[in-house]
Structure 1
Amino acid sequence: MGLSGAALAASHGDDHGHEERAERALVILTSDSLQTQGMAMILANAMQQQGTTLQILLCDAAGDLGLEGYSSEGINTPPGHPMEQVTPEAIMQMMMREGASVDVCAIYLPNSDHGEDDLREGVGVAAPGPMAEMMRDPTIPVFSF
């Protein structure tokens, strides 16, 4: 919450030069709950539509979203959403087509029966150092689900 607050405070400050800096956010998804995964992706998609450059990190059970061929159940979307039902991975793939970066946690593959060849096209494996840098950067809010 401190990182989010710092980023929010910075966004309400002097807007001079705002066009020169890209707003970024890190979304960390670990939950195996279908509704939590869906809402995380719906909110991340809304942030992206509002101009935020997204880095999505899939850990633990949520790492399955990054696997080629993985298909979860559809979830009903909120009123006003353009689709009546959608899967978390479908929203994620749509965001990837719009420029979102998606990685699985560095320990996801070594602790599963999967390898890098099993990941969806465009999904990478996160390196702890760069992820830690993003988490420590006070200008990048971190959202965890």
Structure 2
Amino acid sequence: MKTLITFLITLLGFAGLAEAQSENDPLFVVLTSDDAETQMMAMVLATQSLNKDVPVRVLLCSDAGDLALKDSESPSFAPVDRSPKQLLMGLMNKGVQVDVCGIYLPNRDYTETDLMDGIGTAAPPEVAEFMKQEGVRYFTF
């Protein structure tokens, strides 16, 4: 009996979490992988989420920050014959905030002038404020 009560309390707790999570809560996509296929999947899922009216924000860290550079290229993938960089630019054109990690530029031979227009440098205190908002969902690649 005690096990059944514990199970029901746990089940109710998960049901409460599901109710608290809204389908339109922001999606925070943090991309660190330098693998082009992984980058593509992250951008595809971010785009699909945005197309379903889910607010999306993207943070590019580590080698994935190279996607933000004006002179970088990324390969195209079937079946859409598009690249992760093209999808990233599409997200930006739809108003998605895209930043590189605050430590990306200072630890490479790049400056903000090397970034594509519209891409910023994340300020850790501001990102922390965003992350602590209720309902923010995380997608990390």
1:10 equivalent to 2:20? Answer yes
Equivalent position of 2:34 in the other structure: 32
Paired residue type of 2:127: M
Structure 1 unpaired stretches of 5+: 13-17, 78-82
**Residues 33-91 of structure 1: CA deviation (Å, up to 9, x unaligned):** 111000000000000000011110000000000011211111224xxxxx2x1110100
Q: TM-score by structure 2 length?
A: 0.82
Equivalent position of 1:133 in the other structure: 129
User: How many residues align structurally?
Assistant: 127
In 2, Cα distance between the equivalents of 1:116 and 1:8?
40
In 1, Cα distance between the equivalents of 2:75 and 2:17?
34
In 2, Cα distance between the equivalents of 1:24 and 1:100?
11
Verify the 8 A CA contact 1:7 1:138 in the aligned structure 2: no
Following superposition, which runs of at least 4 residues in structure 1 exceed 4 angstroms of deviation? Answer: 5-8
In 2, Cα distance between the equivalents of 1:92 and 1:142?
17
RMSD, aligned CA: 2.1
Q: 1:118 aligns with which of 114, 117, 126?
A: 114
**Residues 123-143 of structure 1: CA deviation (Å, up to 9, x unaligned):** 000000111122222311111
Cα 1:69–1:137 shift into 2, 3 Å: same
More helix by share: 2
Verify the 8 A CA contact 1:34 1:75 in the aligned structure 2: no
Verify the 8 A CA contact 2:25 2:137 in the aligned structure 1: no
Equivalent position of 1:46 in the other structure: 48
In 2, Cα distance between the equivalents of 1:119 and 1:6?
42
Equivalent position of 1:93 in the other structure: 89
In 2, Cα distance between the equivalents of 1:43 and 1:28?
12
Paired residue type of 2:124: P
Q: C-alpha displacement at 1:25, in angstroms?
A: 1.4
Q: C-alpha displacement at 1:8, in angstroms?
A: 4.8
Judge which range, 133-142 or 52-61, deviates more: 133-142
Structure 2 unpaired stretches of 5+: 1-14
Cα 1:60–1:138 shift into 2, 3 Å: same
Q: TM-score by structure 1 length?
A: 0.80
Cα 1:106–1:53 shift into 2, 3 Å: same
